[in-house]
Amino acid sequence: MDNVRSTQFLQKLARNWLVNEMARRSVFLLKADLKRRNLAEEGGYWPLFGYSMAGLPRLDNTQNCIEQVLKDNIPGDLIETGAWRGGMAILMKAVLEANGVKDRCVWVADSFEGMPKPKNASDGWDLSSLSYLKVSLDEVKDNFAKFDLLDSQVRFLKGWFCDTLPAAPIDRLAVLRLDGDLYTSTMDTLNALYDKVSPGGFVIVDDYNSWPACKRAVDEFLSTRSIAAEIRKIDSDAVYWRV
């Protein structure tokens, strides 16, 4: 099964590299494609113009988790570790805005320079050279501003997770969403932030089923901590559980 996933991932990587290279050269091919649109809605396609790679099931899941913690008065902020163009974090802020919430922050943690180079072969696939994944902090802020959602409730943590997350001035979290892909990025996030998730809060892992290294980090962390999490499937890539 890992070989099948690896082959599918490499095929998707090659396709998206071609799209990225064409974009770099300002060459665009646009074609109405219902199958591709459906694939994008499921989170299986990297968009050229979109704000998020996550499909509707993952977007709906994040919204549902936020609305549940608001309903249950679970204390804490919201964070996404690995934001790309900011789409999921923008959704987080939009849900707070729609519910009139002014006492929680959305934290956006990212290098804003693309993905780190893997520490070793078992750390995960090396996407560090893909310019498609390199989105600056200014661009992400601009994307928030386009939706009129950039204000003091949105906080940015720029840098590698191992440097920014342990010292982040976060007291409590109600929703922790991980999208770091690599083993080290996932483990750095869990080590720094898991204990800050309030009982009744949610942990969402975007790449659990698609990146073996990410799954290994999550499984090892839960096993080491003797945490019996009820891991629930969101789609073919992502999972979540309630703390």
Q: Please, what CATH class does the domain formed by 51-242 belong to?
A: alpha beta
pLDDT digits (tens, 9 = 90+) for 152-211: 999 999 999 999 999 999 999 999 999 999 999 999 999 999 999 999 999 999 999 999
Residue 183 CA to residue 38 CA, distance in Å, equals: 30
Band of pLDDT at residue 69, cut at 50, 70 and 90: very high
Task: Kindly state the DSSP code that residue 69 receives in the 8-state scheme.
Answer: H
- Start-to-end CA span in the chain (Å): 29
Mean pLDDT of the chain: 89
Mean per-residue pLDDT, 6-11:
73
The pLDDT score that the predictor gives to residue 241 is: 98
The CA-atom distances, in angstroms, between 67 and each of 23, 52, 102, 166, 167 are: 37, 20, 14, 27, 28
CB-CB contact of 223 with 44 (8 Å): no
Which pTM was predicted?
Answer: 0.82
Mean per-residue pLDDT, 69-90:
97
Residue 20 CA to residue 114 CA, distance in Å, equals: 14
Mean per-residue pLDDT, 130-150:
95
CA-CA-CA-CA dihedral for 117, 130, 144, 235, to nearest 10: -80
Q: Where are the domains of the chain?
A: 51-242
pLDDT digits (tens, 9 = 90+) for 23-67: 666 555 556 555 555 544 554 555 666 788 888 999 999 999 999
Task: Indicate if the pLDDT at residue 125 is higher than 80.
Answer: yes
Task: Indicate if the pLDDT at residue 132 is higher than 90.
Answer: no
77-81/173-178 β-pairing: parallel
Band of pLDDT at residue 22, cut at 50, 70 and 90: low
